[in-house]
């Protein structure tokens, strides 16, 4: 028997739960979001199948959802919806326990009431109602009844305590965790299968509230000159997406996703003459004029309201048609292997780091730390001291990123010879770029800034026409290390004249000094003042008369530096400020 109107085809329903019925095969983590790939394996029947996947994160970015598959089937449409928020739950066992609790509580109340009645009866007896011969019998019956009621009461209390414990245990088992209400997204996928069999479907989606930040351990070995610096590149990963990442392969991406790709537009740039508000006198004058003319004054207040055009709410359903496979005997793919400890780079713009092995990151918002790679960059040590301010030597490493990996900005814990020295900051450094990393103070270099020596003389026979001051500053440097300290920079200064009556001349080191020199003309020139000591003007233009020495101090050795300058003041009785 045939008919022109065949019965409606009822699709086969397949219910899947995201957490229990799938595995996370990849997580690509960016600075502000993550891309998650979940793989589902299930069996379809011939014809139309309706696959319902529940338990997806509430924060899932709808526009990022992609569905990929493999097998003898075709994906027809994908619809995303949100389930209602879960409330408190119950169970048949919990309902039965609650009934038992109520029954035992009522029985206990009746038992306590009976005991109260016995006590009340005994208290109401008098010689008028009871003969002395009956007293012993009444008391014996009361004792028997009271003992029986006490035993019943104790038994009911034990049973009620046990029932309450069972209720607490059952409620704990069926309790809805806060995380369950974070996984209320549902995906409905229409799959048409040419034949019954196993298929795979992968959901790829982006979620916010997941990030990673770079931080470093910088370890310095002062006993070696070759590769003295080791940088341990680390990542602090945190996520609060609603789902837990258990035993997943994790990739860290340095690229920042871009959502706005439109070229920015310039708005009008208008010029006008500023009109100051009227003074109080002008306002009073206008008001007086208005009242004198007896003209009606109407004050109108205009309300400026900005209208916003609301775009219609976007539907959460999207239809797609993806061909999963054209061959019915296409075997399932080989399970994805886990890459070992590798780091891949895509150039100076961005890099991809694959965390070794499988990692687990719970949905707790806490930072979980991983080591990415250990680097041995090129580094040159330098020491800088300004003994006029403090007799301490600052150690700095000039580090060149000789690797192919971009260093992202982050904090760094600095260790020198195994001891924690300071916390520093690493900027964003591309391959072959350099940066300076302060390594704290180096107490093994001791500097003595001796008091300045002064000499005073005057010129003129009868009347002193000028005063001549000679100043000598001596700086002693001691290296207590067992190795030579090279590239030590000592910075000092001589005064700068702000008046034509004051002349300042640098005597030692013999650097030329005139108005053009310190302003930049001769700044780059140097003077050798010792075997391994070179002096120069420091700081370039407007250097505030700073002088610096670059020197090498032998192991367990000492060197001395000398700075000498003269100040001539004319006339001799002029009072000089700052001398």
Q: What is the pLDDT of residues 368-425, one digit of tens each?
A: 998 888 899 999 989 999 999 999 999 999 999 988 888 889 999 999 888 888 888 9
User: CB-based burial of residue 492 (10 Å sphere; 0-12 exposed, 13-18 middle, 19+ buried)?
Assistant: buried
In terms of phi and psi (left: phi > 0; alpha: psi -120 to 50; beta: otherwise), the region of 116 is alpha
pLDDT at residue 259 tops 90: no
pLDDT at 54: 92
- Dist CA 90 CA 113 (whole Å): 33
Quick one: pLDDT band at residue 327, thresholds 50, 70, 90? very low
At 204 the three-state DSSP class reads strand
If you average pLDDT over every residue of the chain, what do you get? 79
Question: What one-character DSSP code corresponds to residue 69?
Answer: E
Residue, of 283 and 575, whose pLDDT is higher: 575
pLDDT tops 90 at residue 177? no
Average pLDDT over residues 499-507: 88
Q: How far apart are CA 395 and CA 391, in angstroms?
A: 13
Q: Which letter does DSSP use for residue 518 in this model?
A: I
Average pLDDT of the segment spanning 139-145? 81
Band (pLDDT 50/70/90 cuts) for residue 217 is very high
When mean pLDDT is compared across 291-295, 478-482, 543-547, the lowest value belongs to: 291-295
pLDDT digits (tens, 9 = 90+) for 31-77: 899 999 999 999 999 999 999 999 999 999 999 999 988 888 888 88
Has residue 470 got a pLDDT over 80?
A: yes
- Percent of the chain beyond pLDDT 90? 34
| Concatenated DSSP letters of 116-146 | HHHHHHHHH--TTTS-GGGHHHHHHHHHHHH
**Residue 290: pLDDT band by 50, 70, 90 thresholds?**
very low
Q: Confidence band (pLDDT; 50, 70, 90) for 460?
A: low
Residue 473 and residue 491 in contact, taking contact as beta carbons nearer than 8 Å: no
Q: What is the 3-state secondary structure (H, E, C) of 354-397?
A: ECCCCEEECCCCCCEEEEEEEECCEEEEEEEECCCCCCCEEEEE
pLDDT of residue 214: 92
Percent of the chain at pLDDT above 70?
A: 78
């Amino acid at each position: 028997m045939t008919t022109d109107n065949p019965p409606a085809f009822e699709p086969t329903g397949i219910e899947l739960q995201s957490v229990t019925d799938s595995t996370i095969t990849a997580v690509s983590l960016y600075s502000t979001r993550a891309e998650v790939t979940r793989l589902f394996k299930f069996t379809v029947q011939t014809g139309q199948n309706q696959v319902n996947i529940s338990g997806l994160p509430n924060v899932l970015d709808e526009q990022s959802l992609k569905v990929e598959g493999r097998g003898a089937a075709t994906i027809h449409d994908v619809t995303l919806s949100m389930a209602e928020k879960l409330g408190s739950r119950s169970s048949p066992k919990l309902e039965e326990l609650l009934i038992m609790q109520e029954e035992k509580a009522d029985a206990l109340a009746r038992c306590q009431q009976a005991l109260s009645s016995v006590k009340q009866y005994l208290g109401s007896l008098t010689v008028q109602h009871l003969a002395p011969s009956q007293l012993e019998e009444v008391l014996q019956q009361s004792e028997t009844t009271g003992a029986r009621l006490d035993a019943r009461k104790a038994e009911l209390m034990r049973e009620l305590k046990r029932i309450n414990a069972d209720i607490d245990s059952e409620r704990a088992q069926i309790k809805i965790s806060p995380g369950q209400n974070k996984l209320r997204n549902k995906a409905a996928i229409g799959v048409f299968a040419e034949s019954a069999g196993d298929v795979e479907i992968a959901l790829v989606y982006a979620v916010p509230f997941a990030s990673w930040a770079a931080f470093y351990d910088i370890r310095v070995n002062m006993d070696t000159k070759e590769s003295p610096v080791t940088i341990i590149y680390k990542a602090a990963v945190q996520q609060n997406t609603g789902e837990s990442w258990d035993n997943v392969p994790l990739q860290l991406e340095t690229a920042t996703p871009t959502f706005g790709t439109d070229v920015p537009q310039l708005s009008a740039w208008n010029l006008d003459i500023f009109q100051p508000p009227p003074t109080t006198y002008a306002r009073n004058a206008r008001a007086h004029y208005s009242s004198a003319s007896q003209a009606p004054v109407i004050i109108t207040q205009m309300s400026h309201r900005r209208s916003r055009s609301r775009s219609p709410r976007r539907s959460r359903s999207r239809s797609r048609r993806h061909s999963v496979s054209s061959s019915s005997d296409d075997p399932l793919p080989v399970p994805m292997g886990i890459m070992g400890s590798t780091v891949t780079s895509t150039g100076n713009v961005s890099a991809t780091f694959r965390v070794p092995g499988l990692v687990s990151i719970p949905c707790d918002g806490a930072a979980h730390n991983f080591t990415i790679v250990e680097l041995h960059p090129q580094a040159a040590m330098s020491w800088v001291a300004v003994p006029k301010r403090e007799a301490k030597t600052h150690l700095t490493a000039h580090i060149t990123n000789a690797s192919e990996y971009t260093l992202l900005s982050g904090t760094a814990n600095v260790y020198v010879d195994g001891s924690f020295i300071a916390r520093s900051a690493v900027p964003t450094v591309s391959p072959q770029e350099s940066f300076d990393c302060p390594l704290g103070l180096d107490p093994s270099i001791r500097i003595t800034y001796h008091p300045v020596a002064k000499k005073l003389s005057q010129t003129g026979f009868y009347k002193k026409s000028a005063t001549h001051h000679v100043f000598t500053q001596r700086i002693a440097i001691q290296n207590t290390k067992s190795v030579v300290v090279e590239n030590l920079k000592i910075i000092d200064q001589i005064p700068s004249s702000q008046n034509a009556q004051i002349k300042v001349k640098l005597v030692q080191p013999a650097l030329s000094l005139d108005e053009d020199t310190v302003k930049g003309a001769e700044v780059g020139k140097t003077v050798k003042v010792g075997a391994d000591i070179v002096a120069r003007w420091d700081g370039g233009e407007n250097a505030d008369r700073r002088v610096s020495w670059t020197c090498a101090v032998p192991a367990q050795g000492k060197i001395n530096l000398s700075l000498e300058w003269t100040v001539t003041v004319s006339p001799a009785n002029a009072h000089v400020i700052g001398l």
